Amino acid sequence: MVNSRFTNLIDLNDMSSEWWLNVVKRASDICDDPAKYAKVCDGKIMATLFYEPSTRTQMSFQTAMLRLGGTIIGFDNPATSSVAKGENLKDTTKIVSSYADIMVMRHPSEGAAKAAALTADCPIINAGDGSHLHPTQTLTDMLTLYREKGRLENLTIGLCGDLKNGRTVHSMCKALSSFKGIKFVFISTKELGMPQYIKDILMAKNCQFSENPSLEDAIGELDMLYMTRVQKERFASEEEYLALKDAYILDKKKLNKAKSDCIVLHPLPRVDEITMDVDDDPRAMFFKQAKYGMYVRMALIMTILENPNESRPLLTGSTYPSVACGNPNCITHKEGYLPKYFRGLGDMLECEYCDERRLGN
């Protein structure tokens, strides 16, 4: 077992659903009176280390901290930092975390935030690790549901697009399956389907889900439709991407088949998967959702900085020094010094960084 000395947010499921709800409710209070919170992080410094492109996540985190009265440091392009000289993840994050009170990190490899948390000297927030997880987007989505639907329970939620590579939908399924009466409808092609390990988690929690490759067929039963971009950067070749990129396009005509109170979310950026004629429909919530992202990150930063030293388990399984994770994009392959930790699941081993499963030896 390896513990962290800090209150990290690597995966929402490391925290209780009460903890998430407190963050969401607090964010809702902030939406109603942001000025009240203008000084709560006075004197605090947040570092944002973005190894991958970002507009909303990075800027909403930065404005969140600035609106709380704190300041920010960081990079949004590793090519302008010592990463370009070959510095490893451990050294960069160890040093930056000794300068800052809280660190937000996005990285193209699955498990990177957990890897950084092993040695960091302040709390780490995962702002997206490869195709794996994006917990603060899920907090944003929860706040949107809370404000716009008035509940996080008894909802039929359609997830449409690249469910294989989209980290936002993985985090959402893991978290929302904890609430009563949630039913997911996975709307994707076979190639872009939801990973089996997420379906296993839903089954273990008795959360209902179904699969329907047709958006037109599925849309009428939904309380929320979550559109996603086909994740170009996660494809092995341009051809594979081009073959799938326009698989699902929500336009006004399809939206006309939805319920009058079905809200449409998208983590953004959108490419072609929602036509612009949808933007003015009152059910289109994606721009508002992006703004909620700032408020929920204010609530999150405040919550963590009030109690930054909650020791928590980071690695709970066992080391298998000679076993390699089967996921080529797992951080353990890029950063070879990381201890290889797996959880035993019957005859399978599950990597503790990226959740990939392989047969045990």
Residues that bind ligand NCD in the complex, under the rule CB under 6 A = 56-57, 128, 134, 137, 167-168, 229, 267-268
User: Nearest-5° angle of CA 18, CA 20, CA 23?
Assistant: 110
DSSP 143-182: HHHHHHTS-SSSEEEEEES-TTT-HHHHHHHHHHTTSTTE
CA-CA-CA-CA dihedral for 279, 281, 284, 288, to nearest 10: 80
Residue 307: other Cβ atoms inside 10 A: 9
Which element (helix H / strand E) includes 225?
strand 224-227
Structure tokens at 181: 């009466």
DSSP 248-290: --B-HHHHTTS-TT-EEE--S--SSSB-GGGTTSTTB-HHHHH
Decide whether 131 or 177 has the Cβ nearer to ligand NCD. 131
Decide whether 50 or 184 has the Cβ nearer to ligand NCD. 50
Decide whether 126 or 168 has the Cβ nearer to ligand NCD. 168
Decide whether 141 or 223 has the Cβ nearer to ligand NCD. 141
Decide whether 123 or 267 has the Cβ nearer to ligand NCD. 267
Residue 271: other Cβ atoms inside 10 A: 11
Minimum CB–partner distance for residue 162 and ligand NCD (Å):
8
Helical pair 135-148 and 56-67, crossing angle rounded to 10 deg: 70
- Number of residues that make up the chain: 361
Decide whether 70 or 135 has the Cβ nearer to ligand NCD. 135
Phi and psi angles of residue 155, each rounded to the nearest 5 degrees, phi first: -130, 140
Minimum CB–partner distance for residue 245 and ligand NCD (Å):
12
Minimum CB–partner distance for residue 128 and ligand NCD (Å):
5
What gap in Å lies between CA 320 and CA 13, rounded to an integer?
24
What gap in Å lies between CA 215 and CA 248, rounded to an integer?
7
Query: CB-based contacts of 65: which residues, under 8 Å, 6+ apart?
Result: 41, 44, 46, 71, 72, 301
Minimum CB–partner distance for residue 54 and ligand NCD (Å):
6
Minimum CB–partner distance for residue 251 and ligand NCD (Å):
19
Decide whether 60 or 156 has the Cβ nearer to ligand NCD. 60
DSSP 301-339: HHHHHHSTT--EEEE-SEE-TTPPPS-TTBHHHHSTTS-
Decide whether 48 or 168 has the Cβ nearer to ligand NCD. 168
Minimum CB–partner distance for residue 60 and ligand NCD (Å):
9
Decide whether 273 or 352 has the Cβ nearer to ligand NCD. 273
